[in-house]
Amino acid sequence: METTVLKALLKEGLEIANRIAVRSTQLPILSNVLLSVEKEKVQLSATDLQIGVVYRFLGTTRAGGAVVFPGHPLSALLSISSGEQVSLLSKDRRLSVTTGEHRATLQALDAEEFPIIPSPQESELLTEIDTATVCRALSQVVGMTGQSQARPEISGVLFTVMGKTASAAATDSFRLAERRFSLEKETGREQSFILPAKTVRELITILGERPGRAELYLSPAQVAFVYEAKENPSRLRIQIVSRLIEGESPRYQEVIPASHKTLVSLGKNEFLNHLRATGIFAGKAQEVRLLADPRKKAIEFFSENKEAGSHRSALRAEVEGDSVEVAFNWRFLMEGLVQMRGERVEFALNGEDGAALLRPSEQEGYLYVLMPIKA
């Protein structure tokens, strides 16, 4: 195998592949990267058997072939080198690298031992999605996933498409976040699947800043996101394949409050500042108490810690309905609040025991449900 490639593309591909490659005592080959060359196509692949990534671009090839090598040393070398191109030559289980004034030789493994990363089939194409939109939606909910081995279905993000609408939702049984967004193309019947939280975070990191669209492929056991920069001369193509979480999808719509006893409208940043200040004096349970009073047209914040002391503050707000005092985990409340865009939010309360609903006033499609701390 012999090819010459742009250093910038090889470096980026290695950085992505190295994120997926993992150290394994049972399968040491998983800590390596597969380099495949066929005609002008150069491909870097990595997998941990749960998620796989394939990064493909164009190179100048003199001989095709494949080799498995440790990705981190080469990535570190490319970070130092000032050359714009990299020449790669594999022979006798060694990968020779030449870039700028540097020459290196990496120990290689047999490519046939590397696990196969399944490629999506054309018949499995579900829809196309805007990369920035879907990654933004996923980033707004992934922090609310649970970590329960007894309930694996809450350890991922439930992704649903139906018609021209898609949604991402996550819950840890104490709180719930949902983000809905529009699709340009009709998808037909409803399809739902649960993405592992790790897959979601990798999608956000790898695709979040890339303009354009990605194709979404779905089969019974796996999902694939395929991004291709069609207007780029390098014909960059990134494929992310992941296993799905098995289990029944959470019926989260049932816990979203359909009504409220008290509705508070207030500035988001002011709400955040008062929460953070009150949280300084919260106890081990991270409990803060909120009093929404329509007569005072304000929401009051209370916290107390036997070791640190106590805190009290008030914030002007529009309050409709009953006066209510309710306790929340302030960190949970803040984590939902920071995901919202716009200057104002609406906080719907249902007494000291009922689920609360938080949503941005100016942005449709995002909601956050949080259970109070019961007395």
Summarised one tens digit per residue, pLDDT across range 188-217 is: 778 999 999 999 999 999 999 999 999 999
Pair (127, 45) in one structural domain:
no
- Within a domain: 67: yes
Q: What is the CATH number of the domain that holds 342?
A: 3.10.150.10
Domain termination site, one of 113, 144, 169: 113
Pair (194, 291) in one structural domain:
no
Chain-centre distance for alpha carbon 263: 31
Q: What pLDDT, on the 0 to 100 scale, is given for residue 259?
A: 96
Q: What pLDDT, on the 0 to 100 scale, is given for residue 308?
A: 86
The pairing of strands 51-58 and 237-243 is: antiparallel
Pair (205, 102) in one structural domain:
no
Please, what is the average pLDDT of the chain?
A: 94
Q: What pLDDT, on the 0 to 100 scale, is given for residue 233?
A: 77
Pair (83, 106) in one structural domain:
yes
Domain termination site, one of 214, 235, 253: 253
The predicted model gives 52-64 an average pLDDT of 96
Domain termination site, one of 206, 235, 253: 253
- Within a domain: 309: yes
Q: What pLDDT, on the 0 to 100 scale, is given for residue 96?
A: 98
The predicted model gives 47-64 an average pLDDT of 96
Name the pLDDT band for 229 (thresholds 50, 70, 90). confident
Pair (11, 93) in one structural domain:
yes
Pair (131, 93) in one structural domain:
no
Residue 146, pLDDT > 80, answer yes
Q: What pLDDT, on the 0 to 100 scale, is given for residue 286?
A: 95
Q: What pLDDT, on the 0 to 100 scale, is given for residue 359?
A: 97
Pair (228, 319) in one structural domain:
no
- How far apart CA 267 and CA 346 sit, in angstroms, is 9
Residue 375, pLDDT > 70, answer no
Per-residue pLDDT of 245-288, as tens digits, reads 998 877 888 999 999 999 999 999 999 999 999 999 999 899 99
- How far apart CA 182 and CA 47 sit, in angstroms, is 31
- How far apart CA 375 and CA 373 sit, in angstroms, is 7
Per-residue pLDDT of 292-327, as tens digits, reads 999 999 999 999 998 889 999 999 999 999 999 999
With contact defined as beta carbons under 8 Å apart, do 224 and 209 qualify?
Answer: no
With contact defined as beta carbons under 8 Å apart, do 144 and 126 qualify?
Answer: no
Q: What pLDDT, on the 0 to 100 scale, is given for residue 148?
A: 79
- Within a domain: 98: yes
Q: What pLDDT, on the 0 to 100 scale, is given for residue 184?
A: 86
Pair (78, 31) in one structural domain:
yes
**Residue-wise over 46-57: b if at least 16 C-beta within 10 A, else e?**
bbbeebbbbbbb
Pair (249, 141) in one structural domain:
yes
- Within a domain: 172: yes
Per-residue pLDDT of 95-120, as tens digits, reads 999 999 999 999 999 999 999 999 99
- Within a domain: 375: no
Pair (127, 240) in one structural domain:
yes
> pLDDT above 90 covers what percent of the chain?
87
- Within a domain: 290: yes
- How far apart CA 146 and CA 159 sit, in angstroms, is 15
Q: What pLDDT, on the 0 to 100 scale, is given for residue 168?
A: 98
The predicted model gives 146-153 an average pLDDT of 85
Q: What pLDDT, on the 0 to 100 scale, is given for residue 297?
A: 97
Domain range holding 351?
Answer: 256-370
Return the ∠ at Cα 163 (arms to 146 and 130), rounded to 5°.
65
Pair (100, 140) in one structural domain:
no
Residue 170, pLDDT > 80, answer yes
- Within a domain: 289: yes
Per-residue pLDDT of 324-363, as tens digits, reads 999 999 999 999 999 999 999 999 999 999 999 999 998 7
How many structural domains comprise the chain? Answer: 3
- Within a domain: 236: yes
Closest listed residue to residue 3, CA positions, set 54, 71, 56, 52 = 56
Pair (131, 243) in one structural domain:
yes
Name the pLDDT band for 231 (thresholds 50, 70, 90). confident
